[in-house]
Amino acid sequence: MTNSSDTMTDTPFEPRAAAPRAPSPTRPFYWSVRRELWENRSLYIAPLAVAALVLVGFLISTIGMPHRRLTTLTLPADRQAAVISQPYDMAAVALIVTMAIVSIAFCLGALYGERRDRSILFWKSLPVSDRIVVLSKMAVPMVVAPVIATAIILATQLAILLISTVLLLVNGVSPAVPLQLFAAPVVLIYGLITMTLWYAPIYAWCLLVSGWAKRVTFLWAVLPIMALALFEKLAFNSTHVLKLVAYRLSGGSSEAFVSKAETALRPHSIIPVEGLSQLDPGRFLSSPGLWLGLIFAGVCLAAAVWLRQRREPI
């Protein structure tokens, strides 16, 4: 008679292997965005270089600042605020323009570059859909670049504030700070969000051209619009296309902000700070130009996904 312990197996007592966890649906998108940051360092190197240039220029301008500040303090309050805020505004404008240029350049090369160096063959072998790839590339100018720009702008403005404050205190001059500067982060974030949404059709159009063109993507992005504008002028002696382009490039600020003249015509504002009282999100969100632009951007993105499924390496 055999012992029961000899006939029993160890299987019931062995721990079962854990079932593999289903991958998160957002994980491929996250790593696709990380890939774009790894491969396109200009997204943060260019703004950092511009910020360094702005700080160097500001350091040079600090020569004679205490004397100029004493003169500024004799001006009316609104004029004082404009003069004192000028370095901060110039830094923000320079970095916002840099962000827009870098974003457009990124979109023009996003799909074209992987076809040119034939790396698309490798990326297509991975379990990542073309839709996720295109959306991750669109997320760079729509999310990543504005976040990077916001951080660098705020850091640059803080450095300007610290340098000017220390210099003025050392020379016995009051480092008066306009109230507008305290509202600057809110105005900056609001401005970048509205600008990014307003420029979405431009980014999507550049991404579509990047997925279609075989070379010189910039020319293919610009020439059709120029040709259409020229045809309209010759055929109908009108400039609707040029006006539409100008509206798309600069009309976002007029939709998102109210002018000082419009602010003066309003009843007493609840917010005393001029910068905040000029924000008008209601008008921006109700603007037909915003929603028509977003619809156009969606069509361009769908076409870009279709192209990536079918276009071969160059």
Tens-place pLDDT, residues 62-92: 888 888 888 877 778 778 777 888 888 899 9
Within 8 A by CB and 6+ apart from 294, the residues are 197, 200, 201
**Among candidates 261, 273, 267, which has minimal Cα distance to 186?**
273
- How many folded domains does the chain comprise? 1
Q: Specify whether the CB–CB gap between 176 and 79 falls below 8 A.
A: no
DSSP 12: G
**123 CA to centre of own chain:** 25
Residue 26, in any domain of the structure: no
Compute the average pLDDT of residues 22-33.
75
Residue 174, in any domain of the structure: yes
| Cα–Cα distance, 30 to 144 (Å, whole number) | 12
Locate tokens 């340098």: which residue?
163
Q: What is residue 21's predicted lDDT score, i.e. its pLDDT?
A: 58
The residue ranking higher by pLDDT, 4 or 60, is 60
Residue 9, in any domain of the structure: no
Q: What percent of the chain has pLDDT over 70?
A: 86
**Among candidates 184, 179, 195, 183, which has minimal Cα distance to 156?**
184
Q: Model confidence at 4, in pLDDT bands (50, 70, 90)?
A: very low
Residue 255, in any domain of the structure: yes
Residue 61, in any domain of the structure: yes
Q: What is residue 66's predicted lDDT score, i.e. its pLDDT?
A: 83
Beta-bridged to residue 257, according to DSSP, are 279
- Domain residue limits at 206: 41-310
| Cα–Cα distance, 136 to 142 (Å, whole number) | 10
Q: Model confidence at 117, in pLDDT bands (50, 70, 90)?
A: confident
- Identity of the highest mean pLDDT range in 73-77, 181-185, 286-290: 286-290
Q: What is residue 275's predicted lDDT score, i.e. its pLDDT?
A: 64
pTM as predicted: 0.84
Residue 2, in any domain of the structure: no
| Cα–Cα distance, 54 to 132 (Å, whole number) | 37
Count Cβ neighbours within 10 Å for each residue of 135-157 and write b for 16 or more, e otherwise: bbbbbbbbebbbebbbebbeebb
Please give the structure tokens belonging to residue 212.
């279609």
Residue 33, in any domain of the structure: no
Intra-chain end-to-end CA distance of the chain, in Å: 77
Residue 132, in any domain of the structure: yes
166 — phi, psi (to 5°)?
A: -65, -45
Q: Specify whether the CB–CB gap between 257 and 278 falls below 8 A.
A: yes
Reported for 220-226, long-range contacts at CB under 8 A and 24+ positions apart, including other chains, are 221/108
213 — phi, psi (to 5°)?
A: -70, 150
Query: H-type helices in the chain, by residue range?
Result: 4-7, 27-39, 42-61, 65-72, 77-116, 120-124, 130-139, 145-170, 179-198, 200-212, 217-236, 240-256, 260-265, 274-277, 281-285, 288-310
Q: Report the alpha-carbon angle 60-65-68, nearest 5.
A: 135
